[in-house]
Structure 1
Amino acid sequence: MPDSAEYHKIAHITEEIAKQYAPDKRTAIFELQRAADDPNRYQITTTIPRAWERFQQLLVDNHIADTKVTINLLPDTSVNGNASGIVNLSVANLRVAPRNQAELASQVLLGTPVDLLQKRDGYYRVRTPEGYIAWVSTSSITAKTQLDLRQWKVARKVIFIADYGHSYSAPDEQSLRVSDLVMGNILVEMGKSSGLIRVRYPDGRIAYVKSDLVSPFDEWLDTLNPIADNILDAAKTMMGVPYLWGGTSVKGVDCSGFTKTAYYMNGIIIPRDASQQVLAGQFVDILSADTLDTEKALRNLKPADLLFFASGDNRKPDARITHVALYLGDGEFIHSAGTVRINSMLSGAANYGDFQTRTLVAARRYIAQTDPALQPISQHQFYTLEKHHK
């Protein structure tokens, strides 16, 4: 029979360690499971070696034999030594658990490198460039050796800059389609043919893309200027895109997926969720006595600042963040709510309506801020060789 008292002790220690080393399960893992073959033995799965070291010390302090618990440090042996992968679908769905019915947590775009942490039941547990950890179908990812990944990093690539399009099996737009493509997809360039670009997918498929729908990736990075006008221009290209919980592409976006995409298309990787985004950037004062001060907000806010909301009226500024928008100026903001649309915080405006259902509790400025949570693609280790880092 399982020793329930011992289990509860171990579970309590696990909880304490997780609070200290992995407070956000979206970006760090410290999990306890019972061993499949022995109910009195346990396994810790974690991404944090130092958390395991502290856990072992607490076992000793609580007179629990450390042989009772083993560690599964991620990445584990299930990925067969391939600790990296590249997304090979236009948009791959990340889920909170390794099953098709699990909640959609986020999405990643074609050509995005990810860390492979674990493989189970036809899914990879992956870490995205912004550090988000979730499960994605193995059919959506091409596993890569370190040499493969290095070759991908140095290869000449193109990025899809149109909203939506397709690739073709021959240099002819009437030929069979290979896949759909969305804004932000990245492919290896193989040359030109009949006005189209020949490209290679991460899984080796060869296709052709209209040349005016893509830009050389390195040139695109070099010409990016993440100023307010450019970020808002990217945001406005998504006007009318439907809301999709977990969505981060022009096929459908949630509120934070929308802000993430607007900054990504200007070369900046930002945190995934609104509750993470509010922790980054520079504080912008918009409250007086814990309540929105519209005059102060209009005075202090700048275009492309992020606005953070709690659900319902009269919420405190420390309320749970449930929504995020991009400030346009003159009291207006653009956000994904039903669809991507523009609303106003000014009660006399015709597009004020949606503002009444939310409480604006915080604002942050990302432009020109030095913050480890705001990472230029051009300096990110997932996309570049280490010797090019700044």
Structure 2
Amino acid sequence: MQYGICNLNIVPVRVEPDDTSELVSQLLFGEQIKVLEKRKKWSRIRIAFDHYEGWVDNKQYLEISEEDYCLLESSAEELAVDLVDFAVQPNSQQLTPLSIGAKLNFIDRFQLQFDGRKIIGVQPKEHLLETAYLYLNSPYLWGGKTPFGIDCSGFTQMVYRLNGYHLFRDASQQAKQGEALSFIEESEPGDLAFFDNAEGEIIHVGIIMRDNYIIHAHGKVRIDRIDHSGIFNVDSNQYSHNLRVIKKII
């Protein structure tokens, strides 16, 4: 087994080993991976944080030892918390851009210096919404995980991750976590609401707010009304998503 770490700001993870293939997720700076298969140009990888699999360009990660991989796995995450920041190479003053959620645990191994704000460990549940607001108006991007483009489950995963909690990558996977609630009235800000299609498949997720509002990624990260039927879009004045279940994760 080979191991790697992302040494660039945002790296696409694709369905197939091709630059035109569908984006399914992204690697952020400092994330570690297992290399399941390596070809001339592409590697099939498994992301350590959520075990998501896909293909990345071999030029867009660095190999690390199993020892370093295990060390990263066992260490509390140190994550950048500003929307955009940078690290600097002291000798050359060359800058490396960093997006919110960049993992900083091994940054010294890249001979980089980071003087920005970071967060370590578990934060109180009430901090979830404060983090969610940072992504407001971020454009929707299937497979995205940053303020420059993010999907619904990438949004919820990153908000929870930045507060020290673990969510899986897809909405259908996240829906299997936590404790189901019977009514919206039982929910607290920070709980997750899941929505299904006509076939009963979970296709969307958002974060419950106070007073029957929800923040979610739909076209952009936005705030809408929610009731027992689903999400009521305040711009179109119609329901956009059918409520399936509300889950208390923490």
Q: Which residue of 2 aligns with 1:225?
A: 123
Q: Which residue of 2 aligns with 1:180?
A: 97
Aligned match for 2:135, one of 238, 241, 251: 238
Alignment RMSD: 2.7
Quick one: distance in 1 between partners of 2:75 and 2:188? 38
Q: Does the C-alpha gap of structure 1 residues 167 and 357 become closer, same or farther in structure 2, counting only changes over 3 Å? A: same
Quick one: distance in 1 between partners of 2:73 and 2:52? 21
* Residues 1:345 and 2:248 are matched in the alignment: no
* Residues 1:277 and 2:200 are matched in the alignment: no
Cα deviation for residue 251 of structure 1 reads 2.1
Question: Which is further off, 180-189 or 127-136?
Answer: 180-189
Q: Residue 152 of structure 2 contacts residue 205 of structure 2 at CA under 8 Å; is this kept in 1? A: yes
Q: Does the C-alpha gap of structure 1 residues 355 and 330 become closer, same or farther in structure 2, counting only changes over 3 Å? A: farther
Cα deviation for residue 96 of structure 1 reads 0.6
Q: Which residue of 2 aligns with 1:166?
A: 86
Q: Does the C-alpha gap of structure 1 residues 271 and 153 become closer, same or farther in structure 2, counting only changes over 3 Å? A: closer
Question: Which is further off, 153-162 or 110-119?
Answer: 153-162
Q: Residue 332 of structure 1 contacts residue 343 of structure 1 at CA under 8 Å; is this kept in 2? A: yes
* Residues 1:200 and 2:146 are matched in the alignment: no
What is the 5 A alignment of 1:69-88?
A: 75=1, 83-88=2-7
Cα deviation for residue 155 of structure 1 reads 8.9
Quick one: distance in 1 between partners of 2:101 and 2:129? 16
* Residues 1:251 and 2:148 are matched in the alignment: yes
Cα deviation for residue 84 of structure 1 reads 1.6
Q: Residue 343 of structure 1 contacts residue 353 of structure 1 at CA under 8 Å; is this kept in 2? A: no
Q: Which residue of 2 aligns with 1:67?
A: none
Cα deviation for residue 167 of structure 1 reads 2.5
What is the 5 A alignment of 1:280-299?
A: 280-286=177-183, 297=184, 299=185
* Residues 1:134 and 2:20 are matched in the alignment: no
Aligned match for 2:193, one of 284, 301, 307: 307
Q: Residue 284 of structure 1 contacts residue 364 of structure 1 at CA under 8 Å; is this kept in 2? A: yes
- DSSP 3-state at the match of 1:324: strand
* Ranges in structure 2 where 5+ consecutive residues have no aligned partner: none
- Paired AA for residue 123 in structure 2: N
- DSSP 3-state at the match of 1:139: helix
Decide which structure has greater strand share: 2
- Paired AA for residue 249 in structure 2: Y
Cα deviation for residue 153 of structure 1 reads 6.5
Q: Which residue of 1 aligns with 2:44?
A: 125
Deviations, residues 49-97 of structure 1 (Å, cap 9, x unaligned):
xxxxxxxxxxxxxxxxxxxxxxxxxx5xxxxxxx221111112211011
Q: Does the C-alpha gap of structure 1 residues 332 and 117 become closer, same or farther in structure 2, counting only changes over 3 Å? A: same
- Paired AA for residue 115 in structure 1: K
- Paired AA for residue 338 in structure 1: G
* Ranges in structure 1 where 5+ consecutive residues have no aligned partner: 1-74, 76-82, 190-198, 287-296, 368-390
Q: Residue 275 of structure 1 contacts residue 320 of structure 1 at CA under 8 Å; is this kept in 2? A: yes
Q: Residue 86 of structure 1 contacts residue 114 of structure 1 at CA under 8 Å; is this kept in 2? A: yes
- DSSP 3-state at the match of 1:231: helix
- DSSP 3-state at the match of 1:116: strand
Specify the structure having the higher radius of gyration (Cα).
1
Quick one: distance in 1 between partners of 2:75 and 2:182? 45
State, as a whole percentage, how many aligned pairs show the same letter: 28
Cα deviation for residue 345 of structure 1 reads 2.1
Cα deviation for residue 334 of structure 1 reads 0.1
Q: Does the C-alpha gap of structure 1 residues 119 and 168 become closer, same or farther in structure 2, counting only changes over 3 Å? A: same
Q: Which residue of 1 aligns with 2:33?
A: 114
Cα deviation for residue 121 of structure 1 reads 4.0
* Residues 1:101 and 2:9 are matched in the alignment: no
Quick one: distance in 2 between partners of 1:109 and 1:157? 13
Q: Residue 233 of structure 2 contacts residue 240 of structure 2 at CA under 8 Å; is this kept in 1? A: no
Q: Residue 6 of structure 2 contacts residue 31 of structure 2 at CA under 8 Å; is this kept in 1? A: yes
Aligned match for 1:335, one of 216, 233, 236: 216
- DSSP 3-state at the match of 1:340: strand
Aligned match for 2:206, one of 325, 349, 357: 325
Higher RCO (CA < 8 A, seq sep 6+) = 2
Q: Does the C-alpha gap of structure 1 residues 133 and 353 become closer, same or farther in structure 2, counting only changes over 3 Å? A: same
